[in-house]
Structure 1
Amino acid sequence: MSVQEIYDGVVEFDIEKVVGLVKQEVSLGTDVSEILSQGLIGAMDEVGQRYTEGEFFVPEMLMAAKAMKAGLEVLKPLLSQGDNEKKGTIVIGTVKGDLHDIGKNLVAMMMEGAGFEVVDLGPDVDTEKFLATAKEKNADIICMSALLTTTMPAMEVTVKAIREQGLTYKTMVGGAPVSEDFAKKIGADGWSSDAPGAVEMARQLLAK
């Protein structure tokens, strides 16, 4: 039952163990989607659950996400071969004027772990870059992060631009100063206070 061991390895933040076991399962011919969904994604769901219950905090989530990502790197060449269906494409970045990226990085890793195609634009991203990348990558959701109250208005600019241009991208916002009320006020489609919530929100938006 080595897929379970991969799951355990992620929850224990053991990168070497995860990479070794993923390689081993691949060489044994285990179905890649099984390794992904039961081993890596399942583990990140568990990590998210532990975070929600206050057992894990951001550092633990980052360590688990790194272990998951290391396992994912082993699978990537194999994933592109199969028809491993993508859950959707997400363009993510920290808005213009804001250089904070720990929260955004965590959301990006959790989204990737949940099977989304993630295009991470990094910090200090303006509206044009969000929209140009979303068009180029045929994205489903644009996720924007802010940690400074002074950069929050940049989110509204992007949401407004999407609406004015008649584009269909869903928008999600997050970051320490960002509230659900603010998200509603600017017309964003979704909001989350943490990374596991962001994954859940993205799943809900794409199910609509």
Structure 2
Amino acid sequence: MTREELLKAIITELQKGKIKDFNEHVQEALREQIPATVLLNDAFLVAMQNVADKWSQGKAFIPEVLIAARCLNSGLDLIGPELLKHNVETKGIIVLGTVKTDLHDIGKNLVGLMLKSKGFEVIDLGVDVAPEKFVEAVKTYQPDYVCMSALLTTSMPSMKQTVEALIAAGLRDSVKICVGGAPVTLAYCQQIGADIYEPDAITLAQRLLDLSS
């Protein structure tokens, strides 16, 4: 394969979630000394933007997005060591998690995927994340943003408790706080003292990218 054919194959396989072929072609590209930065910008991010566009247009659905996400994460693992050698600058660091008492992760995973596709480094704390764990993560990773997700109305108070915990720890002014999820609204975001609310993962990722530019 020529370099152009290889990049095109990687884009197509990522979009379709064909992880075996995708991994093989990414490894071939690295052997052919195609720079990891080229793979990231001209293949991975191009493919994920295509997936995001199809999703926003109603032409792709959550299962398709998630299998593309699996490929993206696998590819990032493969090119990660090379990216570190080149000291590639990220758009920012984001701590992400579904709040305490909530075990839903599809929305959170979509947010993480879209943020990664925009060039952010995402620290995913998982689900049922207590306020204290968010605080510890902010101390450890010094992120630019904390993103909290909730699908249950009963778990939404944990968002407010996390904001209060960051204030108590003297960390509130060091990060922007983003909240989202089906029951969350802009009014609730403002009520609890968070900074950013967007109705979906694509819009949030684009807004944070615009803020980081």
Amino acid at match of 1:206: S
**2:192 is matched with which residue: 186, 196, 201?**
186
Q: Distance in 2 between matches of 1:197 and 1:17?
A: 31
1:91–1:143 CA contact under 8 A, matched in 2: yes
Evaluate the alpha carbon distance shift between residue 205 and residue 185 of structure 1 in structure 2; reply closer, same or farther with a 3 A threshold.
farther
Change in Cα spacing, 1:203 to 1:81, as seen in structure 2 (3 Å) is same
Match of 1:96 among 93, 96, 100: 100
In the alignment, is residue 19 of structure 1 matched against residue 11 of structure 2? no
- The equivalent of 2:64 in structure 1 is 60
Task: Write the deviation string for residues 116-172 of structure 1: whole angstroms up to 9, x where unpaired.
Answer: 211111111111110111111111110101010011121122224434525320111
Question: More deviation in 196-205 or 2-11?
Answer: 196-205
Report the secondary structure of 1:56's partner residue. Answer: coil
Identity of aligned residues (%): 39
Encode CA deviations 1:68-98: one digit per residue, 9 max, x unaligned. Answer: 1121111112122211111111111111111
Equivalents in 1 of 2:33, 2:83: separation in Å? 14
Separation of aligned partners in 2, 1:180 and 1:56:
27
Of 95, 108, 122, the match for 2:112: 108
In the alignment, is the contact (CA less than 8 A) between 2:118 and 2:209 conserved in 1? no
CA distance in 2, matches of 1:196, 1:38: 20
Could you tell me which runs of 5 or more consecutive residues in structure 2 were left unpaired when the two chains were aligned: none
Instruction: State the AA in 1 paired with 2:146.
Output: I
Compute the TM-score of the two structures, normalised by the length of structure 1: 0.92
Match of 2:181 among 175, 186, 190: 175
Match of 1:10 in 2: 14
Instruction: Report the equivalent of 2:78.
Output: 74
Code of the residue aligned with 2:199 in structure 1: it is S
The question of 1:143 aligning with 2:161 is answered no
For the pair 1:30 / 2:70, whether they are aligned, the reply is no
Equivalent residue letter for 2:10: I
Match of 2:49 among 45, 48, 70: 45
The residue number in structure 1 matching 2:138 is 134
CA contact (8 A) 2:16 2:64 kept: no
How far, CA to CA, are the matches of 2:8 and 2:195 in structure 1? 36
TM-score, with length taken from structure 2: 0.90
Shift in Å, 1:31: 1.7
Secondary structure at 2:55's aligned position in 1? helix
- The count of corresponding residues between Structure 1 and Structure 2 is 207
2:161 aligned partner? 157
Q: For the aligned residues, what is the CA RMSD?
A: 1.6
8 Å contact 1:97–1:124 — kept in the other structure? yes
For the residues of structure 2 that align with 1:191 and 1:44, how far apart are their CA atoms?
22
